[in-house]
Amino acid sequence: MFSTLIGNDEARETLRRLLASGRVPGSLLFTGEQGIGKKLFALEMAKALNCRNRVGLEACDECSSCKRISRSTFPPFSNDDDNRERMIWSEHADVAMARPFKNIIRVKVMRELEREANFRPFEGVARIFIVEDADTMNDQAANALLKTLEEPEPTSHLILTTSNPTALPATIRSRCQAVRFGPIPTVQVEKFLVEREKLPPADAELLARTSGGSIGRALSADVETYRERRAEMLSVLTALVLSGDRAQLIRSAEGLAAAKDRDQYEQMLEVLEVLIRDALALRLGRPKETIVNSDLLGQLEKIGKGLQTSRAAQWLSRIEELRGELEVNINRRIASDALLVSMATA
């Protein structure tokens, strides 16, 4: 049932209205940040359309159809997976997913979807095809999908999910009814982590505040790793604003450069950016409830008192520039040295 999903009340009501009308569009486009539940809502639509004992408008969650769709996991492809250019089928014969392999959905997958969408349901009322991260389709795959969208079968429904809808061709966007999903409120993320994941309240609060409203991001994060990275980045701000410890800046630059890959490097930059924003917010008198790293309030207040607004703005701008440069293969050691030197001299 939709009521079991967290957040996005407006999207939930939109989907309920579509079900109530009895005219669910052949193609839906679910947009919003990663990890906020778009795929879960898509599966809930698949359940509702194929449920054998609906409860009002929604799936019963008890019939064999609902249970088999609920068990759908759609694991990511491995490098040696022979089926990486095929759709992944759920335990239900009428529900399948197309998803990217190495950040690309290729044409073979979309041609399979086109072929399967022409068949009538095998056991349910409707066939549901979920295209995850639809913006990763290459041109050939997008063209194949467009053909399916232009000649839809009444018993087939496509649900495209994306965090970057503008990367999709306008011809595809115009043929889908868009449903917008937003970040999940921090308090709901925290409640989920405590009640369902059994996390300690302090860990749940920290992960909820740093997740940006994304359950997926909160679940994938390691709270102790975050605390370690935060401590290192906090030492950068302390050296820049309070102590003037240049030796600490050199050690921090080495720590940044030692990141094992681009993702870890960018995560550390993001932590530094959030700490600067927190300190700046306190400097400007923003409510303490809005501070992400609220468990460090005392230290951040000290840094905020010594932080010039113009200097913080320059730091944030330089970090954003560096994050943009990560799209190409840069020397992280040189980039880290240059970043911290520019911050110290700003």
Annotated domain spans of the chain: 2-182, 222-345
pLDDT at 73: 75
pLDDT at 121: 93
Tell me the CATH architecture of domain 222-345: Up-down Bundle (1.20)
- Give bridge partners of residue 128 from the DSSP assignment: 95, 157
Q: What is the pLDDT along the chain (346 residues), one digit of tens a residue?
A: 677 888 888 999 999 999 999 889 999 999 999 999 999 999 999 999 999 888 888 899 999 999 999 888 777 666 656 667 789 999 999 999 999 988 899 999 999 999 999 999 998 899 999 999 999 999 999 999 998 998 878 999 999 999 999 999 999 999 999 999 999 999 999 999 999 999 999 999 999 999 989 999 999 899 999 999 999 999 989 999 988 888 888 888 888 888 888 888 889 999 999 999 999 999 999 988 889 999 999 999 999 999 999 999 999 999 999 988 887 778 888 988 888 888 988 7
> Is domain 2-182 in CATH 3.40.50.300, yes or no?
yes
pLDDT at 85: 79
Contact present, 271 and 229 (Cβ < 8 Å): yes
73: Cβ contacts below 8 Å, ≥ 6 apart: none
Contact present, 217 and 211 (Cβ < 8 Å): yes
Neighbours of 190 (CB within 10 A): 21
Nearest to 207 by CA among 189, 182, 195: 189
Nearest to 97 by CA among 131, 136, 148, 142: 131
pLDDT at 30: 97
Nearest to 183 by CA among 209, 158, 212: 212
